[in-house]
Amino acid sequence: MNGNRPRLYVGNLPYQLTVDELKDFFNGAGNVTDAAIITDRDSGRSKGFGFVEFATAEDASRAQGMFNGAQLKNRTLKVDLAKPRQNKAGPREGGGGGGSSFG
């Protein structure tokens, strides 16, 4: 994901939802440039939340208004502006590897 584009956090996603389904759903509000569903590192299963990136702030704002509280496969979505990603220091200085490739 491009750190310069507006990004929304999407919570309470159905666990079987695919990234393509997430993109298609949010395309109803504007131009989706990328999307990701966060998965458990060990099991690979969805954690029930993800992020959707839009071409413009207007599209992201429209999507937040349209889809916060909306139903998707019998789940009520929580949609909010994504907070900037924090660099996490590991147990040692300068540290920490791992994490997702989401950035």
**Structural domain harbouring 61:** 7-81
What average pLDDT does this structure show over 66-82?
97
* pTM for this entry: 0.79
Q: Judge whether 100 lies within some domain.
A: no
Buried b (16+ CB within 10 A) or exposed e, 21-33: bbbebbeebbebb
How much is the pLDDT for 91?
55
Q: What is the CATH number of the domain that holds 51?
A: 3.30.70.330
Cα maximum dimension of the chain: 45
pLDDT digits (tens, 9 = 90+) for 43-55: 999 999 999 999 9
Overall number of domains in the chain: 1
Q: Judge whether 43 lies within some domain.
A: yes
Q: Judge whether 34 lies within some domain.
A: yes
